[in-house]
Amino acid sequence: MPTPEQNVDELCGKGYSSIIFMGIGGTYLYAGQLGHIYKQMSSKLPFYVENATDFLYEGNCHIDKDSVVAIASVSGETKELIQAVDKLHEVGVKVIGYIEKEGSSLYKSVDYLVHTDGAEYYFWYTVLLRFMKNAGEFSDYDRFFQSLKHMPNTIVEVQKQVDEQCREYAEKHGDEELTYLIGSGNLEDWAECYSMCIMEEMQWMRTRPIPARHFFHGTLEVIERETSLILIKGEDCTRPTMERVENFAHRVSNKVNVFDTKELLLRDIPEEFRGILSPIFARAMFQRLSVHLENHRKHPLEIRRYYNCLSY
């Protein structure tokens, strides 16, 4: 099976009119993090992030027969993506897909298949950055991916470093009535993803994600002494917006919890790549939080009320 790099190289050789990252729910929010990285790296590629349901009902004027669309699905049976791929194929679009479940509907229907386990982030990064490399926009591509060879050990070290903080959070704040999660830049969509896909879906906790850029245009007025806040700080160019939120939050609330990738000791990751990789580090941190919430709340992450339990 060709690698993602080989797929992208072939697509570049054929030419393309636009590059679309398309997802729904968590996959859309993963793709959105790469959308911020695309902007921050000043790429001029015709690149767009699209929600599959929006595409089905609203269309997208940037998609034509020469477009390349990238999707991801763990189950390979994501309803909205199956419908979107069918619609894309009607136009003649080529779809490159990261699909984990062998033999699933999307496994069979994508034009360029990437099949493995637990590597969705790496898929999104590889596809976007390979297009940028081939366009002469990312000369550090090879050195960047060489540094990722250390990532498995780095992730383990990250999780060891934050485990106690995550345990303390779960024990003190695992039963809050409402939690606000705030992020910026390439962690803005991670804040929404963790809020929606883990705390709401898998733990039935009431949450509200807020982009730091919106915080001072409404949300600040409902923050009180007992308002529970999770601030997710990364290392991209938007960090000052999170520092502004943090300074305000500590003046008003007694329940401010900060998860900051900059505090992590990352010996094998070059400093200049830490900002680009903040989403991966943040996800590693919050994987430990998920474990401790699961234990504190006595609610296995796999249990749902409705998701894949009812027809809807």
Domains 4-139 and 149-297 share a fold: yes
Tokens of 13: 């050789």
* Distance separating alpha carbons of residues 83 and 80, to the nearest angstrom: 5
Residues of the chain with pLDDT under 50: none
Contact 16, 68 (CB under 8 A): yes
Domain borders along the chain are: 4-139, 149-297
Tell me the pLDDT tens digit for each residue of 36-68.
999 999 999 999 999 999 999 999 999 999 999
Candidates 3.30.390.50, 3.20.10.10, 3.30.390.30, 3.40.50.10490; correct CATH number of 4-139?
Answer: 3.40.50.10490
CB contact at 8 A, 237 and 278: no
Strand order in the sheet with 255-260: 207-211, 179-183, 228-233, 255-260
- Cα torsion 75, 64, 48, 202 to 10°: value is -20
Contact 24, 78 (CB under 8 A): yes
pLDDT score recorded for residue 188:
98
Q: Hey, what amino acid is at 246?
A: E
Alpha-carbon distance of 298 to 195, in angstroms, equals 19
In the three-class reduction of DSSP (H, G, I as helix; E, B as strand; rest coil), residue 30 is classed as helix
pLDDT for residue 1: 85
Homologous superfamily of 149-297:
Glucose-6-phosphate isomerase like protein; domain 1 (3.40.50.10490)
